[in-house]
Structure 1
Amino acid sequence: MLIVGLLLYIALLFILLKVNFYVGLGFIFVTSIVFKSIFPQLKGYIGEQRIRKLLDKLSEETTVYNDLYVPKKNGEMTQVDHVLLSTYGLFVIETKNYTGWIFGDENQRNWTQTIYNKKSRFYNPVMQNNTHVKALQHYLNMEVPIHSIIVFSNAATFKFKEPFQTAHVIQTKHLKRTIEQFKTKEISSEQLSRISQLLKALVPETKQQKNEIKKQHLEHVKKISKPARKKASKVQVKPVSAGAASVEPETCPKCGSNLILRTGKRGSFYGCQGFPKCRFTRDAILGK
């Protein structure tokens, strides 16, 4: 499908350039802007499709459910990329089609993606998938083993310092091996049947139903994110005074929060505003 679209684009561009060179240039400019805006969504879609194909090639004894909206305990909905049901457990899979160097740890709220000198932060996918796992536990209301798996692109390079305890963080090429390492049957045939019925109930019967559920979910996400931004804007951090000069507050290299001048037993130091979740400190003497 992508190859056909690319060929059609090239053919249309060739025709426009032949008719009018400047019209062709304008077409290139407009389509480049559009492509840049949809590129992240396109990458995510391609990544999820790749994972779907890999999961579909697993044992016939497994069942795959994609793009589920699972009700949480508080009545809200959470979107789950993939759920794999087998006698060896329930596998909850979150896809992250990111490239570059990936930094983070299990308890750090935000992770960092580094591509050359460009850094960008994203929400900890382990925490994100833990939310999905808890929602499924509440919805299914039965004791079954649930395994959390975070799948990154093969082009991602992990820079993790500590192993993960609550999730498997892997590249796409290791997904099959990660799932197949579980060889002990822990879900009975009766439980499989019951879980299958419950998960099927979450699958929209029509495309219209799916779009409506997705729309409601996105509206809720926007609604809960607005108060958070307003609350954050009210927090004012005074500039750090350095002699007669006044400089803007520095940010914590570990979590990105502001550094605040504090006083302890050994004198003054800069501590992370995110304490106690983040315990980064730096000597108050400039240059250290």
Structure 2
Amino acid sequence: MVWGCLTVALMLVLIALFSVKGKGEYGEDRIYDILQKVDGYKATLQNCYLPKGNGETAEVDLIFLHESGIYVFESKNYSGWIFGSENQKYWTQSFSDRKGGTKKYKFYNPLWQNDTHIRVLQKILRDKNVNIYSYIVFGNDCTLKDVRLSQSNYYVIQRRELLKSVLENAMHYGRVLSNEDIDNLYRMLLPYTEVSPEEKETHNRNIQEKYRM
């Protein structure tokens, strides 16, 4: 009887883990699909594990290389109400429960998270003058209830707004990268998407330790 209960509990934990993983991958894949609709010369890389220089890596969900610059995406396929600002270490995800109450969960500031990704990327590129845009993309099932920003290169949007936002950004800044630039950047960054399962596990373990509250 005890073994049966343990087996059921283990199965429930595994189902929950795979559901979270699948939801995250779905959000990233949808962003990828949307970006392919953007006109102009382009290339897209998913799940880049960039070396930070201290033995750790920074995982970037998507890097979009386009004529108008480099777009760095952090996907948050969340639901509920989202509260936060660029100066808060933790943002809040809020749900209404079945009893009429509210459940709240904290998560690390995604703007800070993406800032780290961009700084690591800039070190690899050795060119801090290229246009780099930070995009935090939430799922369509959430409500960005109170998200306060002041910097113009920060974008916190829902996935349904993504195509319009990138197109407007590209029109505003125009062409800053040539086809050759994009090809060279793609070749430079592609190896960082080809990592072993062991390297991914080490990265995940480091992240869990770093952002534990």
Could you say whether these structures have the same fold, taking a TM-score greater than 0.5 normalized by the shorter chain as the test? yes
Aligned length: 198
**Contact 2:84–2:91 (CA<8 Å) still a contact in 1?**
yes
Once residues 171 and 42 of structure 1 are traced to their aligned partners in structure 2, the CA distance between those partners, rounded to angstroms, is 18
Secondary structure of 1:104's partner? strand
Cα separation, 2, equivalents of 1:86 and 1:177: 15
How many Å apart are 1:92 and its aligned residue? 0.2
Counterpart Cα distance in 1 of 2:34 and 2:20: 21
2:29 to 30, 49, 69: 49
- In 1: Cα distance, 2:107 partner to 2:193 partner: 28
Any residues of structure 2 matched to 1:130-149 within 5 Å, and which?
A: 130-142=115-127, 143-149=129-135
Shift of 1:221: 3.3
Which SS does the other structure have where 1:212 is aligned? helix
Q: Contact (CA 8 Å) 2:57, 2:203: kept in 1 or not? A: yes
- Kindly provide the amino acid, as one letter, of the partner of residue 134 in structure 1: R
Kindly indicate whether the alpha-carbon contact (under 8 Å) linking 2:69 and 2:176 is maintained by their aligned counterparts in 1: yes
Q: What is the CA–CA distance in structure 2 between the aligned matches of 1:37 and 1:199, rounded to whole Å?
A: 29
1:75 is displaced (CA, Å) by 4.7
Deviations 1:240-272 (A, max 9, x none): xxxxxxxxxxxxxxxxxxxxxxxxxxxxxxxxx
Partner residue, 2:196 = 210
1:220 aligns with 2:206: yes
User: Over aligned residue pairs, what C-alpha RMSD do you find?
Assistant: 2.6
CA shift for structure 1 position 70 = 0.8
Structure 1 gap segments, 5+ residues each: 1-26, 233-288
Query: Are residue 126 (structure 1) and residue 116 (structure 2) matched?
Result: no
Amino acid at match of 1:99: S
- Residue pairs, 1:184-199, within 5 angstroms: 184-199=174-189
How much identity, in percent, do the aligned residues show? 35
Aligned residue number for residue 68 of structure 1: 48
What secondary structure is seen at the aligned counterpart in 2 of 1:202? helix
**Long gaps (5+) in structure 2:** 1-6, 97-101
Q: Deviations over 1:37-61 (max 9, x none)?
A: 4322222122222222222333361
Task: Name the structure with the higher strand share.
Answer: 2
User: Given the alignment of the two structures, is residue 102 of structure 1 paired with residue 82 of structure 2, yes or no?
Assistant: yes
> 1: distance between equivalents of 2:10 and 2:198?
30
State how far apart, in whole Å, the 2-side matches of 1:197 and 1:146 are. Answer: 18
* Conserved 8 A contact 1:81-1:94: yes
Larger mean Cα displacement after TM superposition, 37-46 or 135-144: 37-46
Question: Judging changes above 3 Å, is the alpha-carbon distance between structure 1 residues 190 and 103 closer, same or farther for their aligned structure 2 residues?
Answer: same
SS in 2 for 1:157: strand
**2:146 and 2:40 mapped to 1: Cα distance?**
34
Within the candidate set 146, 150, 160, 1:173 is matched to: 160
Residue deviations 1:114-140 (CA, integer Å, cap 9, x gap):
011010000000110011111111111
Do the aligned residues in 1 keep the contact of 2:72 with 2:132 (CA within 8 Å)? yes
Which 4+ stretches in 1 moved above 4 angstroms? Answer: 27-33
**Which amino acid is the alignment partner of residue 111 of structure 2?**
V
SS in 1 for 2:33: helix
- The whole-number CA distance in structure 1 between the counterparts of 2:179 and 2:60 is 24
TM-score (normalizing by structure 1) = 0.62
TM superposition shift of 1:34 = 3.8
Asked if the contact 1:73–1:138 (Cα under 8 Å) also holds between the matched residues in 2, the reply is: no
User: Per chain length, whose mean CA-contact separation is higher, i.e. which structure has more relative contact order (CA < 8 Å, sep 6+)?
Assistant: 2
Q: Which residue of 1 aligns with 2:39?
A: 59
**CA deviation after TM superposition for structure 1 residue 216, in Å:** 2.9
Q: Is the CA contact (8 Å cut-off) linking 1:72 and 1:139 kept in structure 2?
A: no
What one-letter code is carried by the residue in structure 1 that aligns with 2:105? S
Task: Report what 1:284 is aligned to.
Answer: none
